[in-house]
Amino acid sequence: MDKETVGIIGTGWVGTSVAISTLHAGIAQRLWLHDLRAEVAEGEAMDLAHGAAFYPACEVAAVPLAQMREADVVVVAAGRNGRPGESRLDLLRDNARMATEVGQMLRGFGGVVVMVSNPVDVLTRVLQAASGLPPERVIGTGTLLDTARLRQIVGRQLRVAPGSLHIQVLGEHGDSSVPVWSGARLGGRPLRALAQWDAAFEPALAQQMRRAAYEVIQRKGATNHAIGLVTTRVLRALLLDERSILAVSRVQTGACGLQGVALSLPSLIGAGGALEVLEPEMDELERAALAASAAVLERAHASLS
């Protein structure tokens, strides 16, 4: 392709938030939308195109599903959203079929796939298997959103900008996620060495992070804006070949002793996908929590068979 093209499958709350965030970021020259409800995708494309005077040049169009194979990056935001009181893994059976069908359609695809739909880790694994694409070219947004939420929560606690905090959340995007408090830094100093920090804060702040999506869903029915921004951050790293380190999900091939399960670890993101997985320093409790998170995801995937 002579232009960078992003395709988005699914134009519900999440897909449209990804679309508007991508347009404002100015990282694509073509934005293609697809939805089973063809008229909705067409309407969203028209509505977004009407704002062309206010974002960097980008052609926006609704396209048939098969045309997504010609994109550079395909974002999968199809499937249903979570319901009040429902865990992400409860969504699994309803959305796994969608991931399988999309993966089969993308067999032989030459670009990168970004899975956004939940439960994102298991669906990343399902789509990678169905597509036959290399693990590095099927990425889930994973715990990048959990990381952003925790930085916002801790930033509010310390009265500093969230972007100045270096904290990672790894493992499942869900209830077994693992905040790596032992490696958290502010201004190069360990968080736990700060006079204004007390490790007793950590369990409550982690629980607040894990409950964040449920609190939003209770009030408005879905989460969409933050994940739109998160997805665009991944797209920027891919399309601009940034080689940024981001906590994203992919099928693991040995890092931290994990094989075959899709979950989030720090990964080098560039034009070819999640090119390298880095093994972070963790204390013993965090390593045990990561192993437990992997086990949760293994059981969820096994339940499909």
Q: Give me the CATH topology for the region 144-302.
A: L-2-Hydroxyisocaproate Dehydrogenase; Chain A, domain 2 (3.90.110)
Known active-site residue 173: yes
What pLDDT score does 38 carry?
A: 96
- Position 224 scores a pLDDT of 96
Q: What's the pLDDT score for residue 116?
A: 97
Catalytic residue among 24, 34, 50, 173: 173
Distance CA(52)–CA(109), nearest Å, equals 29
**What's the whole-number mean pLDDT along residues 206-220?**
94
The yes-or-no verdict on residue 2 having pLDDT over 50 is no
Q: Does an H or E element contain 6, and which? A: strand 5-9
What is the rounded average pLDDT for all residues in the chain? Answer: 95
**Alpha helices by DSSP H, 37-179:** 38-49, 92-105, 120-131, 144-158
List the domain boundaries for the chain.
5-140, 144-302
CATH class label, 5-140: alpha beta
Looking at residue 84, what is its pLDDT?
A: 72
Q: What are phi and psi of 30, to 5 degrees?
A: -135, 135
- What is the pLDDT averaged over residues 31-56? 97
* Residues 133-155: tens digit of each pLDDT: 999 999 999 999 999 999 999 99
- Rounded distance, CA 96 to CA 126, Å? 7
pLDDT in tens, 63-84: 999 999 999 999 999 997 767 7
The pLDDT, as a whole number, for residue 3 is 60
Q: How many CA atoms lie within 13 A of 143 on its CB side?
A: 31
Read off the pLDDT of residues 277-286 as tens digits, 9 standing for 90 and up.
999 999 999 9
Positive or negative, the CA dihedral 122, 125, 126, 128 is: positive
